[in-house]
Amino acid sequence: MNSDSDTDSNFDLVVIGGGAAGFFAAITCTELSEKPRRILILEKGSDVLQKVKISGGGRCNVTHDCHDPREFAKNYPRGQKALPGPLHRWNAGDMIDWLEQRGIELKTEADGRMFPITDSSQTIIDCFLGEARMHNIEIRCRTEVSEVTHDGSRFKIALKSDVTLASKNVLIATGGVRTPSGGNFAKSFGHSVEPAAPSLFTFKIRDPRLDGLAGISVPVGVARIPDLKLENSGPILITHWGLSGPGILKLSSKVARDLQSRNYQFRVQISWTGNQSRAEISDTFSAIRDSSGRQQIQSHSQFSIPGRLWKRLCEAAQIDASTKWGNVTKSQTAALIDQLISSEFQVDGKSMNKDEFVTCGGITVKEVDFKTMQSRLQLGLYFAGEVLDIDGVTGGFNFQSAWTTGRICGESVAVKL
Ligand SMILES: Cc1cc2nc3c(=O)[nH]c(=O)nc-3n(C[C@H](O)[C@H](O)[C@H](O)COP(=O)(O)OP(=O)(O)OC[C@H]3O[C@@H](n4cnc5c(N)ncnc54)[C@H](O)[C@@H]3O)c2cc1C
């Protein structure tokens, strides 16, 4: 292809990155433009929307059932201040309605996560591909952008294949800055980029209390990092690696940078009984001693703790299989309460890369106008999605920020064209 040929120049908008944010921006732009626009999505991978495909275990946790922008924004350890404004313009409710108007119904799980009723991310992908086709959005896969420049009148988008495209506007929607290209494009326009750090990862722990218990979870736990004076409640899952589940992932997200600077070596305390106090548990134990003194402690789990985990916690408190409620000592009881409300573990690393869901870091938010998602340093340059220094806890928040920032970008390009 020739760099100056008509086919490869004069785009109204070139979107770099065929992920959630880039797609939604492109669709929005065509949807809201008064006349047909030339919009092109460039994707370096062999297919678009690959992360949507694998998201939520293949079910795609599209968004979260919370319609108040301020409350919603609290779920972003980075981006909390920047997002309430954009969320007033495009929030979870707007996304739900948008999908519903296109025949896609979502369902809400008990913890607020929302999925397509089909339980398949392909439903979302099919919808987006259908919209892109309907609006004549051009998509080129296996097309990697290597450089973006501006010649004073238009952007020049250099591809790895040596072709150069031209466009009035460019959206950088290249995802997390662990892959540096999006950050590098931004830097070439003078933007600063917060370095990448994993967010949402599981804690690697080797401890006899957890050995062989992979798959066991408690629905309401509390994970605490005493050195950082921070805790988070939620379901906790024991894995082959150590500890995971929303209670751990959310905590990892909140302190992603602190834990990176500690090289993922820190102590974590787990309460397996939610927010129950020492006194409340002690009262429950007294009542059991009175009513069931002959019962063996190890064989009768309390507080809905799975039996095998309860047994391990009893063993850690030096309560053997023959000990009964009637003959347990005060120090054993105290040790069991310690294990229940504050089991301490030494974390020695985080999960392998493939299990890391989200990267924190990205383009510094103060250099972006969140009313338009346009760069404050270069007119016509836009950002959306995970390439920004915004990341949410688990639960559908990361996609919602991709939809919201993508929507606002698409809308502002449509309005100005
Ligand atoms: C396993 C997994 C499960 C997840 N599940 C959920 C979930 O259920 N709910 C939720 O809210 N979030 C989830 N997330 C997070 C969510 O997927 C991301 O936050 C979201 O995809 C970000 O969208 P994006 O468009 O910004 O980036 P991406 O979806 O990462 O898209 C960026 C695209 O840009 C392309 N690209 C990069 N550089 C170039 C270049 N130079 N030239 C051309 N193309 C380029 C990439 O190939 C990629 O396709 C999950 C993430 C993972 C990894």
Q: Is residue 191 part of a domain?
A: yes
- Asked if 131 and 51 sit in the same domain, the reply is yes
> Distance, CA 148 to ligand 1 centroid (Å)?
20
33 close to 414: Cβ distance less than 8 angstroms: yes
Asked if residue 210 and residue 285 are part of one domain, the reply reads: yes
Q: How far is the centre of ligand 1, averaged over its atoms, from the C-alpha of 18 (Å)?
A: 9
Number of structural domains the chain divides into: 2
- Per DSSP, 17 falls in state -
pLDDT at 158: 96
Around ligand 1, the residues with Cβ closer than 6 Å are 16-22, 42-45, 50-51, 54-56, 60-61, 144-145, 173-175, 179, 181-182, 357-358, 385-387, 396-399, 402
Question: HSE on the CB side for 388, CA within 13 Å?
Answer: 34
In this prediction, residue 145 carries a pLDDT of 98
Could you tell me the pTM of the whole model?
0.86
Ligand 1 centroid, distance to 175 Cα (angstroms): 5
CA of 398 to the centre of ligand 1 (A): 9
User: Which of 119, 146, 174 has the most ligand 1 atoms within 8 A of CB, as the residue to mutate?
Assistant: 174
Kindly report, residue by residue over 246-283, the tens digit of the pLDDT. 899 999 999 999 999 999 999 999 999 999 999 999 99
**270 and 405 inside one domain:** no
Residue at which a domain ends, from 356, 374, 398:
356
* Residue 182 contacts residue 172 (beta carbons within 8 Å): yes
Q: Is residue 67 part of a domain?
A: yes
Return d(Cα 104, Cα 106) in angstroms, integer: 7
What pLDDT score was predicted for residue 9? 73
Say whether both 75 and 159 belong to one domain. Answer: yes
Q: Atom 21 (ligand 1): residue with closest C-alpha?
A: 51
> What does the alpha-carbon distance between residue 413 and residue 187 come to, in Å, rounded to a whole number?
22
AA letter at 302: Q
Which residue minimizes the CA distance to atom 31 of ligand 1?
A: 19
Nearest protein Cα to ligand 1, atom 3: 55
Measured by CA distance, the residue closest to atom 6 of ligand 1 is 55
Clarify whether residues 263 and 178 are in a common domain.
no
Which atom of ligand 1 lies closest to the CA of 391?
19
Q: Residue 23: name the closest of 124, 93, 103 by CA.
A: 124
Per-position pLDDT tens, the chain of length 417: 444 444 467 899 999 999 999 999 999 999 999 988 999 999 999 999 999 999 999 999 999 999 999 999 999 999 999 999 999 999 999 999 999 999 999 999 998 999 999 999 999 999 999 999 999 999 999 999 999 999 999 999 999 998 999 999 999 999 998 888 999 999 999 999 999 998 889 999 999 999 999 999 999 999 999 999 999 999 999 999 999 998 999 999 999 999 999 999 999 999 999 999 999 999 999 999 999 999 999 999 999 999 999 999 999 999 999 999 999 999 999 999 999 999 999 999 998 545 456 789 999 999 999 999 999 999 999 999 999 999 998 899 999 999 999 999 999 999 987
Residue closest by Cα to atom 53 of ligand 1? 357
Give the atom of ligand 1 at the shortest distance from the alpha carbon of 48: 49
Query: Of 356, 372, 397, which residue sits at a domain end?
Result: 356
39/186 same-domain check: yes
CA-nearest of 175, 146, 227 to 356 is: 175
3-state secondary structure of 45: coil
Q: Which atom of ligand 1 is nearest to the CA of 19?
A: 31
Instruction: Note whether 93 and 189 are same-domain residues.
Output: yes
Q: Is residue 1 part of a domain?
A: no
pLDDT at 105: 98
Give the CATH number, domain containing residue 148: 3.50.50.60
Yes or no: say if 237 and 243 are a contact pair by the CB < 8 Å rule.
Answer: yes
Ligand 1 centroid from CA 204, angstroms: 25
Distance 42 CA to ligand 1 centre (A): 14
**Same domain, yes or no, for 24 and 167?**
yes
> What order do you get walking across the sheet with 242-244 strand by strand?
203-204, 242-244, 230-238, 217-225, 265-271, 343-348
How would you label 47-64 residue by residue, b for 16+ Cβ within 10 Å and e otherwise?
ebbebbeebbeebbbbbb
- What pLDDT sits at residue 352? 57
19 CA distance to ligand 1 middle (Å): 5
Asked if residue 287 and residue 388 are part of one domain, the reply reads: no
User: 141 C-alpha vs ligand 1 centroid, how far in Å?
Assistant: 15
> Contact, 395 vs 112, CB < 8 A?
yes
Cα(133) to centroid(ligand 1), Å: 21
Q: Are residues 258 and 398 in the same domain?
A: no
Verify that 188 and 221 share a domain, yes or no.
Answer: no
Cα 338 to Cα 313: distance, rounded to the nearest angstrom: 9
Residue 97's pLDDT is what? 98
Task: For ligand 1, atom 5, name the residue with the nearest CA.
Answer: 55
For ligand 1, atom 4, name the residue with the nearest CA: 55
Residues 163, 248, single domain; the answer is: no
Among 356, 373, 399, the domain-final residue is 356
Which string of DSSP letters, residue by residue, matches 334-382?
Answer: HHHHHHHHHEEEEEE-B--GGG--EEEEEE-GGGEETTTTEESSSTTEE
20 alpha carbon – ligand 1 mean position (Å): 7
Residue 390 is encoded by which pair of tokens?
A: 């915004």
- What is the span of the domain harbouring residue 166? 6-198+358-416
Q: What is the pLDDT of residue 5?
A: 44
